Structure 1
Amino acid sequence: MSDESKPGTPPDRWADLPPMDPGPPPAAPARATLAAATAAGRFRTAAPSAAGRSATPGGSAAAGGSTATGGTAATGRTVAPSPLDPGGTRYPHRVHRVLREEFPLTYDPLLRAWVLSRYADVATALTDARFTHGHRPGDPPCARSHVDVDEAELRSVAARTAHVLARRIADRPHADLVADFCHWLPSGTVAAAVGVPYRDMMRLVRGRAAAALAGQCTGQIAVREKALASFLANVLADPDHARELHAAPSGQLARAWTESLRRDPPVQIAVRRTAAEVRVSGGTIPAGEPVALLIGSACRDPERFREPDRYDPLRDDPGQLTYGTGACPAVLLAGFEAEYALRALLDAMPRLRLADGFRPERTGLITRAPRSLLVRPGG
């Protein structure tokens, strides 16, 4: 079992959603059981074989859809698990697997939204015009709003900042890369890129001023911090990966970075709303409905990825969903930060390894990343 099976921390608050999401959904009901929610008529299941059926919250499921009160879905389960259930904090991939296999479309009373968990559905919802109120760095609307950037300068900024931070911890007997490195690199590169003194940027980085200075996308510091922490955790978990990637060309490092975004996306749940009726796996979502997209589930869908739970830096079937594929300074910068973070750390600490007995523990439900990354800089 992977390290993610360990107990985690309480789920992230909706207020902590990064700017790529449309903001908090309506307040969730009191944490009554899902059974109680279904008994109140707010929840209906959709069997995987129900493609083409329509269902609405509290309404009737056409063509034989069944309620969770007094009936069961075709799979034999009565109630779909919720991503917000306590078990989802400890190991969300178990919940995701059940949803993908048995409830590809279900209404979650805790999220107050329809839930999509399969790769094909989530990938479509992130870009399809029938889903509104969303934003990802790198999506076409985002790309059209940016001015041209100097990629060489962004690379230089990321490299300089990473090497300064790495040298600060190189002589320590132990360090936490999350607190001592990942927390500082994204904000430091933004500060340098926009010409703001670093001490001033750190005062602004958690507020709206960061986005005002760096733009909506580049100002998403927390997302890049979490993505970087997961990337370093994935690479350092296997000393062979670290050695091979240290001297690897940029293209190979970019592939390893994309694979980390695929396996451990920093944003696990994104929220959209349907602008029109949309048919998906398991049924049809009416227009005007909120939809929770389980990015963490989609990126481990075995129908899309072979051995989806394994981190494979040489994977040749990329499909990360954290960022779009268009031109965006934030997407470029995140990739440069990952590349030069690894190079700088291993340049300054060639024997860098995880602390004895330490295994990274990823926490969070809305956003997710290692809480700490304890290392021995001297090996």
Structure 2
Amino acid sequence: MSDEAKPGIRPDRWADLPPMEPGSSPSAPARTTLAAAAAAAGRLWADTEGAPSGAGRTVAPSPLDPGVTRNPHPVHRVLREQFPLTYDPLLRAWVLSRYADVATALTDARFTHGHRPGDPPCARTHVDVDEDELRSVTARTAHVLARRIADRPNADLVADFCHWLPAGTVAAAVGVPYRDMMRLVRGRAASALAGQCTGQIAVREKALASFLANVLAHPGQARELHAAPSGQIARAWTESLRRDPPVQIAVRRTASEVRVSGGTIPPGEPVALLIGAACRDPERFRAPDRYDPLRDDPGQLTYGSGACPAVLLAGLEAEYALRALLDAMPRLKLADGFRPERTGLITRAPRSILVRPGG
């Protein structure tokens, strides 16, 4: 394989790389050289961040470059537009960033080592899920937590609400006393108590925090949703998962050769899927950076074709969180001058959502 044929590699900067056999990953010395080049790419990106998309790029930026935690979207844009398939030495994986490629990798059996809704463990858990009971438990838990902060002059919805609702819902569903829920329901204990899927506490926390941040950024919108039917809130929830997915990078491995944008990935290769980049691909979504709860663009990302109790539960938590918070605090608003800032590389969400419960 020549340098010219390697996806994402420009020959003017990679002439000193050790040779690679067809279908192989870079060797350890090559990865060392690649790491140095990636560091240089990070510096170059910092110098050209304000320039037009991709201006001055000679090597692919890395999703782990300095500054990406604060704002990954410029790097995602360059990867989508110029490097749809590239090897990242920091991730030690091939990187996919376009919607079509990421959607394929999430659902195609040629990509393995990832949980898909409908897979046997997920299907076994889903058999025992009573949706009506889960809805009732979620609603009760959300209202209890909302009442706890309703009389405060200030609150942080991440620390005081989002951090508790996913764990509390699971605790109530499996009969764990409220006082013990955080000790017994978080982490591995959640999987033991509630099954592999519904134990995804931390991811549901982050997804909920981003949803509330998106909705509360537009107070009129929040009040319209509060009185809206479940289906409309579900659309707003789906749009939040698209614009600000809690999981930014998912890892898979190829079971066989796969053709994607920019080249072909051999079998047995690790592949990093940039969920955050794919969800803002302008080839799929109109005005992809905008939060639009009425968006009707087709082709939202899915992790599989089957049902998943964690997906069901997260959607119920979003709906009843919004209803409970505005039931208890009709004048709820973000604190004056506060704008939620999302952080994180692999997972991403607001660290805090400062609000005034009384408006």
The answer to whether the superposition gives a TM-score over 0.5 is yes
Q: Distance in 2 between matches of 1:170 and 1:18?
A: 63
Q: 1:104 to 1:25 in 2, by over 3 A?
A: closer
Asked if the contact 1:276/1:286 (under 8 Å) is kept, the reply is yes
Q: Comparing 175-184 with 329-338, which one deviates more in the overlay? A: 329-338
Task: Map Cα deviations across residues 113-155 of structure 1 (whole Å, 9 max, x no partner).
Answer: 0000000000100111100100144568733553142111111
Moved more, 339-348 or 315-324: 315-324
Partner of 1:15: 15
Preserved CA contact (<8 Å) 1:246 1:343: yes
Q: CA 1:224–1:325 in 2, change beyond 3 Å: closer, same or farther?
A: farther
Structure 2 counterpart of 1:142: 122
Residue of structure 1 in register with 2:322 after alignment? 342
For residue 324 of structure 1, the aligned residue among 304, 310, 316 is: 304
1:228-266 Cα deviation digits (max 9, x unpaired):
000000000001211110100000000000000000000
Give the alignment's TM-score, normalised by structure 2.
0.84
- 1:99: Cα distance to partner? 0.1
Question: d(CA) in 2 for partners of 1:271 and 1:194?
Answer: 31
Please report how far the alpha carbon of residue 13 of structure 1 lies from its aligned counterpart in structure 2 after TM superposition.
Answer: 30
Residue by residue over 1:330-373, the C-alpha shift from the partner in whole angstroms, topping out at 9 and shown as x without a partner, is 11111110000000000110000000000000000100000000
String of CA shifts for 1:12-64, please: whole Å, max 9, x gaps.
9999999999999999999978544699999xxxx9999999xxxxxxxxxxx
Q: Is the 8 A contact 1:163 1:344 kept in 2?
A: yes
Distance in 1, matches of 2:168 and 2:17, equals 22
Residues of 2 paired with 1:354 and 1:19: CA distance? Answer: 55
Higher-RCO chain (CA-CA 8 Å, sequence separation at least 6): 1
Contact 2:209 2:349 in 1 (8 A): yes
Q: Is the 8 A contact 2:121 2:196 kept in 1?
A: no
What is the rounded CA distance, in whole Å, between the counterparts of 1:176 and 1:12 in structure 2?
51
Query: More deviation in 266-275 or 146-155?
Result: 146-155
1:265-299 Cα offsets, whole Å, 9 max, x none, are 00000000000000000000000000000000000
Bigger shift: residues 359-368 or 129-138:
129-138
Alignment partner of 1:217: what SS? helix
| Deviation, structure 1 residue 324 | 3.9
- Shift in alpha-carbon separation, 1:240–1:294, aligned structure 2, 3 A: same
* TM-aligned CA distance change 1:298 to 1:313, over 3 Å: same
Contact 2:38 2:61 in 1 (8 A): no
Q: In the comparison of the two structures, how many residue pairs are matched?
A: 351
Cα RMSD (Å) of the superposition? Answer: 9.1
Kept after mapping to 1: 8 A contact 2:187/2:199: no
Partner Cα distance (1:217, 1:283) in 2: 34
Question: 1: distance between equivalents of 2:212 and 2:2?
Answer: 16
Is the contact between residue 132 and residue 275 of structure 1 (CA under 8 Å) also seen in structure 2?
A: yes
Whole-Å Cα distance in 2 between the matches of residues 325 and 166 of structure 1? 34
1:167 aligns with 2:147: yes
Distance in 2 between the 1:177 and 1:19 partners?
53
SS of the residue aligned with 1:31? Answer: helix
Q: Comparing 13-22 with 235-244, which one deviates more in the overlay?
A: 13-22
Quick one: structure 1 residues 91 and 51, their matched pair in 2 at CA, closer, same or farther if it must change by over 3 Å? closer
Change beyond 3 A, Cα 1:126–1:367: same
Per the TM alignment, residue 7 of structure 1 is displaced from its structure 2 partner at its CA by 31
Higher helix share: 2
- Paired residues of 1:81 and 1:99 also in contact (CA < 8 A): yes
Contact 1:112 1:290 in 2 (8 A): yes
* Conserved 8 A contact 1:233-1:373: yes
* 1:274–1:344 CA distance, 2 compared to 1 (3 A): same
Q: 1:325 to 1:339 in 2, by over 3 A?
A: farther
- TM-score normalised by the chain length of structure 1: 0.79
SS at the partner of 2:31? coil
